[in-house]
Structure 1
């Protein structure tokens, strides 16, 4: 993949909050990499709202990650059996998961998440256990990490739970060439309830510079809940010798844990990790947006192709004479409130920061302009952000290149045009 294409993919990731778009030159390795990359991002990053302000800031970085503090509370050790009712102690409290403990909407502590996980494990010794519940980090994630030993050696395990709105879950696929993707096995299954299950046996390092294995199960449920469980044949993910030939749990055991109904309470308590796309839908079809852009391009330029990231963001390939390049356009609606008060507050804060130094036109339209970085214009191209009184938001960003496709004035003319109209 060319550097401009990679930049556009990374920017689209930032602008659409999905974690999509990171690709490599090796086609078949892409599929395996997507399984790994998306899963790692889900496990290691805190879900967050990425509104226009954040996307603007991300243009210079090409990628977006919010590393969340786990707020985990440690548990020294515990011995568990198949019929045991384990408890977890620490700053998150002590809890044994039962359906009667609290309503589905009540916060779930890290101790409860950890205890639920431990109750589903076979007989063995648990050490270095930590849990994070929905009473931390805004309630958009739940985690449990521990080291499990069934008598055959230690195995690190990490479990994470998030919840995506309809259409926001990341599809997980298996590569056609498992060898190229450095996987021993991979299978995707649609369960009777509509859940999407992926079971994979691979390695911590695709290039096999260490022999540490990593197996995982990923379940995306119809209600948007995603339960992800990884395990290693080592007490640490990296930098430690293998402690056993294979991770402790079989694929069937991984499946049994992520599909267990005891997670229903946790999933119900987890808040959605992103903005509902319907809230920001301007009601414009892709064809309508492309037709509008075509009318606004400088003379001699035309749209050669369009690639949608979602309903609101599109990257266009624009040509004019001997010149061609990418133009990323985002059109969405900011007038409808979110159903989550925390998301609403964070979005408003981001927007205020974005238009802090904006120019206000006579009709009340706010225009924020950022010139390309003089040192590295490829990494931070020119961009214009517009917010109209009716709530319509338009963002136009030059694609990367040695020479900018359009001037700042031309981008401003496109973004501020009255041709952009809300339809809902």
Structure 2
């Protein structure tokens, strides 16, 4: 595929993938222009829709807890929500609908404004825009904004889902969902992203439900971000369900061409128009949480603590969170930080127990050394999580690998527990400039 048609993120030559995707995007007379990567990072990851970047996978560990999510999960994001609570949402689940007031979770927020689209209408569009086969759908008598079914073309059953979501109220909202992730955070086989001539963004990604492949369930996904700020998100599997079902075929059933045709089908548009509107216009600075350091400030502050001689080989994140992969000559080490004000029920429960130390000023500190949890052989996870009396939380983690799902590259992380504690307790985080 010509360089100006898209951005390939696979680290190797995948000519068939490139050729097919190029053909898909040219088949309707549309080009595929590579976006300015700075725009994608600054817009999608810094100010993208907060509810999309907030599927937390653990209670401690910060942004690096995302280092081995399946491809349906977040591509960049924070561990901590406004209430400081972790969620257990499936990493391959679609994003949640917008709240009635367009904000995130937390005490006093309004309940989710659920769409009332008949599921049978969503199923009809899905069936009409995929190859002939036998379908079995869930909840056809219900209402919502997503449809889940099992498709069989005679070569094995395959789970398929499509969801419609409003990205948010800023121009950049949702771009993180159509931007290929850093492989330090999300492992996958191939990914391509870019912009159609219409101005709409699209991403096609091929990966797995489980990053360590302990079950080789494949997840192929296409996501379109329309000019109206609607995300049309389709996923398919080589099993009858995302999780808990035996692999039934070598690959998911739909080709890249068919996935692209599915998410760009015009028949989704009138259904998407039924999604609840987000009231009002975004105010100045809206699209990011208040009182957290900007993405640039997080990177600058985190890097200021790195040992002399350590080289940053990869980095990323957004407002209030970030990570770097460093190498001091002894192997790659992933280091991440989450910085957020947190309030609400349950936060104090995270800082109880014999391993929690309360400092003279009332700040609580939990230090943890444990084995990695994402499948990398020999990986260890060191973390320091702190909470000030006023509810300002800083969590820092380090691993002895460049990615949790990859084997250890060194005996210990590049930073000691004492260094992690120094970072987490530093007053620099409260002084970091806000955007």
1:170 aligns with 2:177: yes
Partner of 2:12: 26
CA displacement 1:198-217 (0-9 Å, x = unmatched):
6899xxxxxxxxxxxx9975
CA separation of 1:287 and 1:367: change in aligned 2, threshold 3 A: same
Aligned to 1:282: 292
| Inter-CA distance 268–398: structure 2 relative to 1 (3 Å threshold) | same
5 Å-filtered alignment, 1:264-413, equals: 264-266=273-275, 278-279=288-289, 282-284=292-294, 286=296, 289-290=299-300, 293-294=303-304, 296=305, 301-305=308-312, 307-311=315-319, 312-317=321-326, 319=328, 326=333, 328-335=335-342, 348-349=345-346, 351-357=347-353, 358-373=356-371, 378-400=378-400, 401-413=410-422
| Structure 1 residue aligned with 2:163 | 160
| Alpha-carbon distance in structure 2 between the residues aligned to 1:371 and 1:232 | 35
Q: Look up the SS of the partner of 1:382 in the other structure.
A: strand
Change (3 A) 1:187 1:370: closer
> Are 2:140 and 1:142 equivalent residues in the alignment?
no
State whether residues 295 and 322 of structure 2, in contact with CA within 8 Å, keep that contact through their aligned partners in structure 1: no
Q: Distance in 1 between matches of 2:255 and 2:303?
A: 55
What root-mean-square deviation, in Å, do the aligned CA atoms of Structure 1 and Structure 2 show? 5.7
Question: Higher relative CO (CA 8 A, sep ≥ 6), structure 1 or 2?
Answer: 2
Change in Cα spacing, 1:162 to 1:393, as seen in structure 2 (3 Å) is: same
Shift of 1:384: 0.5
Summarize the alignment of residues 203-214 of structure 1 with structure 2, pairs less than 5 Å apart: none
CA shift in 2, pair 1:314/1:112, >3 Å: same
Q: What is the CA distance between 1:29 and its match in structure 2?
A: 8.2
Cα distance in structure 2, aligned partners of 1:31 and 1:245: 14
- Consecutive unaligned residues of structure 1, counting only runs of 5 or more, are 1-22, 36-45, 72-104, 174-180, 202-213, 270-275, 338-344
Shift, 1:370, TM fit: 0.4
Q: Deviations over 1:99-131 (max 9, x none)?
A: xxxxxx85345x812324316755989742224
Runs (5+) with no aligned partner, structure 2: 1-8, 22-50, 71-87, 94-111, 181-188, 207-218, 279-285, 401-409
Distance 1:286 1:215, change over 3 A: closer
Structure 2: distance between partners of 1:215 and 1:374: 26
Q: Higher helix share goes to which structure?
A: 1
* 1:418 corresponds to 2:404: no
CA contact (8 A) 2:341 2:393 kept: yes
- Structure exhibiting the larger radius of gyration computed from Cα positions: 1
Q: Deviations over 1:295-335 (max 9, x none)?
A: x567xx3553362233321215264xx65653513142215
Task: Give the match for residue 130 of structure 1.
Answer: 138
Q: Aligned in 2, Cα 1:163/1:59: closer, same or farther, shift over 3 Å?
A: same
| Partners of 1:329 and 1:247 in 2: CA distance | 34
Distance verdict in 2 for CA 1:260–1:231, change over 3 Å? farther
CA contact (8 A) 1:371 1:381 kept: yes
- Over 3 Å counting, the alpha-carbon distance change for 1:188 and 1:288 in structure 2 is closer
Quote the Cα distance in structure 2 between the aligned partners of 1:253 and 1:52. Answer: 30
Change (3 A) 1:369 1:314: same
Query: What are the superposed Cα offsets for residues 212-261 of structure 1, whole Å, 9 maximum, x if unpaired?
Result: xx99753223455321346799999952699x999997965763246422
